[in-house]
Structure 1
């Protein structure tokens, strides 16, 4: 019926495709052991890419959509400077998709939901796997100079790079567009400078714990700064989707995490950027509606346009990454290399509950 994804634009829902045909080295350990840490970034860099093992299925993808208004057309003939002119006047009105349904969860909503702290991903066999994105390209945008304080948290040297890669899991991230707080949402996986290799999907429902008006966020708001969007089609069958796992403080300061976004400074928000070798340095907890959210402090390079992008890592013998949080906010004073000057991601058990509820009610 509908696919569910997080607003960080990583597909995270079930698929009708079987998991039994993977050729990635066994055994699959699901769920991972509680103390099982992800692979270090330096080890991920040495993982060999996996080739596609099936033909790309024939599917219909949507590239655009037009909403027609009820406009009555008529024609008329008239003379202009001795010539007969045939004219069909009409109005070029702009029509938008139907508005989203918004659903705020509370303690009662998830009372009967079986919450999972570990959710496995799905690697479609018709796509190859690159553990880091290929197709590195040069960026254009606002240069970042040495010296001085900036209210954006790119910690020099900037290790981000733009890429153009439609392999898995880079097929699962993408760009979303909206109009206003209650407008529409269009998601384009692997979007790159207008290209839509997997087509587009439209949001039907937004599920969330807390609504923050912005533009500035408190730590409490960052801890719950994520939503689940129910799409109008099973996009994950085509693109695959990442897994999820609740963050453990035992992973603090480990260089495990990759981050993806559409930064305004080096791509004008038109191409994806990748940052690897990231570490989460602190965890703060906040509660609402019986849920616990985490603020994951980190010094991963981000800029405007990274917000909503995933922080994910790879676990041994799994052909998909697992998301632990989403990019939320940045410090006003990044010159302070402590908890007052770090970037913040949102995650924790609250995100687990949100994903579990969406998967159960909108499969």
Structure 2
């Protein structure tokens, strides 16, 4: 277990400290795929299976669901979220205690790689436009993002976040806990709710959902982003939320741990990021970049600056590192904003505390 002042492992040293391995047990998993309908009476459902020929001698299947009794002129939406605002700095729990609580988890049915091994070529679909206003992210110099299909841990923990606001990225941070960005949340919820619907699909790739999907039921936050498309200073400091999902999806995907940022780590090339950029492959494939530095802006490191390559859609994806003594990585921030000088991620001791609160109250 890392101590409170322990530094993350430098990126170039990862494979010496953490050994790749196959799944402990080759066990099939159960997944859920869901959608919502409007019907005056309980719909009648029929299902069937058909083989899909991809020319690769693999056993691909299409699951077909026929539903009778749907109202054609109406739309059905997922459930909205309950939730509560949290006051930053209210929790007083030591770093050592939380380092033991907020650990990562690898399921026995998943292998482990510190770098994705199934890399793919990306197609550029949008050209970036950058000015000096803070918006959600940009590219600096050579684009070092790599698309991947790897579903081993920890690549299994990151996925596509969908809401009424559009799409973003997020990471499993507990058994049923999703860490993502505030500015992807639709805060204009129906009366009696904190936020409108959130759907999370881990390891989403070209429409494929190898671990199924889950919906949010509860949400924790410090600051609600106001929806104007720009991230103000305080919004950038607290541009993250923890969404409690309606099932324990993390037992299938695994989850990352969490840590508060320490300014002693500013000079370390130890960090990685994953997300779903809209400018590559239409946001349909996850990308990864590793080995970059970050710079905490003050002692509390609410905004964490970096020049890794990011674009809208990657917002909410984790900035993470590995520590000796842990089984997997810990997230220190989520991607939030950019200007022409830096990209900015939101993370701090307060983010760590928010994760701890959500994981304590919804075990």
Would the aligned equivalents of 1:293 and 1:350 in 2 still touch at CA under 8 Å?
A: no
Rg larger in structure: 1
Q: Unpaired runs of 5+ in structure 2?
A: 44-68, 166-185, 190-195
Partner residue in 2 for 1:63: 33
Cα 1:36–1:72 shift into 2, 3 Å = closer
SS at match of 2:270: strand
Partner residue in 1 for 2:79: 98
Aligned mates of 1:261, 1:107 — CA distance in 2: 26
Partner residue in 2 for 1:141: 124
Cα 1:310–1:328 shift into 2, 3 Å = same
Partner residue in 2 for 1:345: 345
Aligned mates of 1:91, 1:58 — CA distance in 2: 34
Q: Unpaired runs of 5+ in structure 1?
A: 1-29, 74-87, 286-291, 335-340
2:308 matches 1:300 = yes
Would the aligned equivalents of 2:261 and 2:347 in 1 still touch at CA under 8 Å?
A: yes
Bigger mean CA offset, 167-176 vs 110-119: 110-119
Aligned mates of 2:335, 2:88 — CA distance in 1: 25
Q: Which has the higher contact order (CA 8 A, sep 6+)?
A: 1
TM-score (norm 1): 0.76
TM-score (norm 2): 0.76
Partner residue in 2 for 1:189: 202
Cα 1:295–1:226 shift into 2, 3 Å = same
2:150 matches 1:165 = yes
SS at match of 1:329: strand
How far did 1:284 drift?
2.9
Partner residue in 2 for 1:10: none
Going by fraction, where is helix more abundant, 1 or 2?
2
Would the aligned equivalents of 1:293 and 1:351 in 2 still touch at CA under 8 Å?
A: no
Partner residue in 2 for 1:41: 11
| Cα-to-partner distance string for 1:185-221 (whole Å, 9 max, x where unaligned) | 1100000010000000010011101112141112221
SS at match of 2:204: coil
Cα 1:160–1:33 shift into 2, 3 Å = same
How far did 1:57 drift?
4.8
Residue correspondences, number: 301
2:312 matches 1:309 = no
Aligned mates of 1:249, 1:89 — CA distance in 2: 56
How far did 1:69 drift?
2.7
How far did 1:96 drift?
0.9
Structure 1 runs, 4 residues or longer, greater than 4 Å off: 110-117, 148-152
Would the aligned equivalents of 1:71 and 1:91 in 2 still touch at CA under 8 Å?
A: no
SS at match of 1:265: coil
